[in-house]
Amino acid sequence: AWADLLSQLLLADHQAQFVFFLRLSVLAWFINIFAGPAYFVNLGIGNVSLNTFSHAAMGVLNLLFGWILGEIFGAPGVAWGYVLALAIGSAWLMIFFQSRHDIRWRDLMLVEHIPLIGASLFVALLGITRFGFSSRCNSNYACSIAFIFLPVLLLSVTLWLHPLRLVLWRRFFANLE
């Protein structure tokens, strides 16, 4: 949702290609963030072979996809190659970690997460629609402020109301005593 603002701040203009590349990077890292727990558990238990293979696969796939898609589509193809390589490498790490530790996907999806998923999808949709309104919204400060602060407010309230926050809060303060 902030790609247009970053373009304005960093480049002093709305650069559509910059915004496109930024949004693709956000998509790639959104997928990659779900591999974080598996990555750090592997580091903690000293089993880094999955991590190493995942990163090697990302590098090789990035080279292949970037080259092939770049030849066909130019710079956007290279960016899509990066997204695909990162997503495939991250998915590989998650899938093999979960199969190695007998973790089922449905065990990870808790009912308490549904409001957070809904809010996240709404913010993503807001960011996409912001792209369509950018020419009208850049000259309207109220519109720009709404597109900047509405996602932060919505996600902050959703996270504050999430039941896991209380568990983490209690653990944090219990460790301080």
Spatial neighbors of 51 by CB under 8 A, at least 6 apart, are 39, 42, 43, 93
DSSP string, 132-160: HHHHHHTT-HHHHHHHHHHHHHHHHHHHH
109-163 pLDDT per residue, tens: 778 888 888 888 888 777 666 655 555 665 566 776 777 788 888 889 998 988 8
Q: Where are the alpha helices (DSSP H) in 3-74?
A: 3-11, 16-32, 36-45, 49-73
Global pTM value: 0.70
Q: Tokens standing for 65? A: 């996809």
CA–CA dist 61, 88 (Å, integer)? 8
CA–CA dist 139, 46 (Å, integer)? 53
Give residue 136's pLDDT.
60
**Whether pLDDT at 46 is above 80:** yes
